[in-house]
């Protein structure tokens, strides 16, 4: 019987720094029960990686069994629009539907297509960094980390970048439903955002049918009307998923990396001396404090995993960030070490649901971080980071920094 662990994800001490709790979780063994959530979890790298790759665990259990069959309670009636949307998401599907949807989206994330975005990301990062220089400081989340992924994903899909703030607001309201202890107000805001976002996506799709462009949205519309037979609802859901996922996690990844680097007191010129150093720094930031901490799977059948019997429909929580601090895989894991040889961290997941946007997220980090630190040497924190109450995402509310000159860009 797995040991039990109690720790509220809404406890400020926890969401400000969950890593001491993760150490305690790992000490309990391969599997433990997180009492607050009520399901089995793992904080160990080997187990988390194995579960992510084990096809007996998946997301789309309701395609195989009804809620009644699984003994699940009926969902909140008010959440019906969001749950219907979620069920059509690529993140929630299993093969063959997942394979078809991912294949369509993968066309936008080829190495050539992603690398082609580099000049635009450089220009935007330089513009934002220069604005911070003129001001002598900024909130690095609102003034740097957030605008870059929003502009990039809007440009990739072909929707107006000035719509970005509204898209971000809808996205925040939607992902808030995954927070521990979401209340009726959070549910209502989630549904309202879902409906509004769906209307926005349908309008953009209709416009592309009349006037296609050279963008991902037009490509998805063409797939909808072609041999791949992407349904209308799948198209709407995929557009929203890309707009949500294309900025939500990447904003946090950039923000968390900035906080780590500034707190470490290392010389940024060494972190980004060349492409290899930059790549190591990016991977170490993702290992050390990634944006997504908890990802769940369902047992798609009855089976034994890590010596424990799982019943069909049972949930398992996989702690990606805790796996990145596992001393059995990473020596001195609580030390931020940009010279560390890049290891197989799980910040982007693993298996068939490995993050489709990982190449783009890596590029944004590899461009944005060097631009900021090269143009603003001597940038320093102006106060402690302010962490959001948003677990299972880990991200900053604010990251205030000051700069007093010496621009080299």
Considering only 130-139, 210-219, 226-235, 369-378, which range has the smallest mean pLDDT?
226-235
Find the DSSP H helices in 301-405. Answer: 320-323, 358-375
pLDDT at 126 over 70: yes
Check whether 124 has a pLDDT greater than 80.
Answer: yes
Average of per-residue pLDDT across 71-76: 84
Please give the backbone phi and psi of residue 401, each rounded to the nearest 5 degrees, phi first: -140, 155
Q: Could you tell me the two tokens for 274?
A: 């060349």
Question: What is each CA distance from 309 to 2, 35, 119, 299, 305, in whole angstroms?
Answer: 11, 18, 51, 10, 6
Helix, strand, or coil here: 58?
A: strand
Quick: pLDDT tens for 238-291.
Answer: 888 888 877 888 999 999 999 999 999 888 888 999 999 999 999 999 999 999
pLDDT of residue 227: 57
DSSP state of 388: -
Non-local CB neighbours of 313 within 8 Å, separated by 6+ positions: 61, 65, 69, 70, 71, 72, 298, 299
Instruction: Note the pLDDT tens digit of each residue in 326-368.
Output: 999 999 999 999 999 877 899 999 999 999 889 999 999 999 9
Given a contact cutoff of 8 angstroms between Cβ atoms, the answer to whether 291 and 256 are in contact is yes
State the DSSP H helix or E strand holding residue 350, giving kind and residue range, or none if neither.
Answer: none
Q: What is the pLDDT of residue 224?
A: 61
What pLDDT is stored for residue 181 in this prediction? 82
| Of 104, 127, 125, the residue nearest 226 (C-alpha) | 104
For 144-172, b/e burial (b = at least 16 CB within 10 A) is bbbbbbbbbbbbbbbbeeeebeebbebbb
Q: Could you tell me which residues are beta bridge partners of residue 39?
A: 34
Distance CA 148, CA 365 (A): 10
SS (H, E, C) 5-28: ECCCCCCHHHHHCCHHHHHHHHCC
CATH topology of domain 3-402: Cytochrome p450 (1.10.630)
By C-alpha distance, which of 152, 225, 232, 172 is closest to 198?
A: 232
**Residue 24, token pair as written in the block:** 């305690």
C-alpha span between 168 and 273 (Å, rounded): 33
Strands 386-387 and 380-381: unpaired
Percent of the chain clearing pLDDT 70 (strictly above): 97
pTM: 0.93
Residue with tokens 């297509």: 113
- The DSSP call for residue 79 is G
For residue 324, pLDDT beyond 60: yes
* pLDDT surpasses 70 at 408: no
- Among 322, 264, 243, residue whose Cα is nearest residue 46: 322
């Amino acid at each position: 019987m797995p040991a039990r662990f109690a720790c509220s994800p809404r406890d400020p001490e926890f969401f400000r720094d969950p890593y001491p709790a993760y150490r305690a979780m790992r000490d309990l063994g391969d599997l433990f029960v997180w009492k607050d959530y009520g399901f089995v979890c793992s904080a160990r790298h080997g187990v988390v990686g194995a579960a992510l790759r084990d096809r007996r665990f998946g997301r789309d259990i309701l395609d195989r069994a009804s809620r009644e069959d699984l003994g699940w309670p009926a969902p909140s009636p008010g959440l019906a629009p969001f749950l219907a949307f979620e069920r059509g998401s690529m993140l929630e599907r299993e093969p063959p539907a997942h394979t078809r949807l991912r294949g369509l989206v993968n066309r936008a994330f080829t190495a050539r297509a992603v690398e082609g975005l580099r000049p635009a990301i450089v220009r935007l990062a330089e513009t934002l960094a220069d604005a911070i220089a003129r001001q002598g400081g900024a909130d690095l989340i609102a003034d740097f980390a957030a605008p870059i992924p929003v502009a990039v994903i809007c440009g990739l899909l072909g929707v107006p970048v000035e719509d970005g703030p509204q898209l971000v607001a809808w996205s925040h309201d939607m992902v808030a439903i995954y927070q521990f202890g979401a209340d009726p107000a959070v549910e209502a805001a989630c549904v309202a955002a879902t409906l509004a976002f769906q209307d926005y996506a349908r309008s953009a799709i209709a416009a592309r049918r009349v006037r296609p462009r050279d963008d991902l949205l037009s490509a998805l519309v063409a797939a909808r009307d072609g041999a791949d037979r992407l349904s209308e609802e799948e198209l709407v859901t995929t557009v929203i998923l890309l707009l949500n996922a294309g900025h939500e996690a990447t904003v946090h990844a950039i923000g968390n990396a900035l906080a780590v680097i500034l707190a470490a007191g290392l010389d940024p010129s060494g972190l980004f001396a060349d492409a290899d150093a930059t790549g190591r720094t990016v991977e170490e930031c993702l290992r050390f404090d990634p944006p997504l901490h908890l990802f769940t799977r369902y047992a798609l059948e009855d089976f034994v995993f890590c010596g424990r019997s799982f019943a069909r429909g049972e949930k398992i929580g996989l702690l990606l960030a805790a796996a990145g601090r596992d001393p059995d895989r990473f020596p001195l894991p609580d030390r931020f070490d940009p010279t560390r040889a890049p290891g197989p961290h799980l910040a982007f997941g693993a298996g068939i649901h490995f993050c489709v946007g990982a190449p783009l997220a890596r590029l944004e980090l590899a461009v944005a971080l060097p631009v900021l630190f090269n143009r603003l040497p001597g940038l320093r924190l102006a106060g402690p980071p302010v962490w959001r109450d948003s677990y299972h995402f880990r991200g900053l509310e604010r990251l205030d920094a000051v700069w007093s000159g010496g621009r080299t860009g």
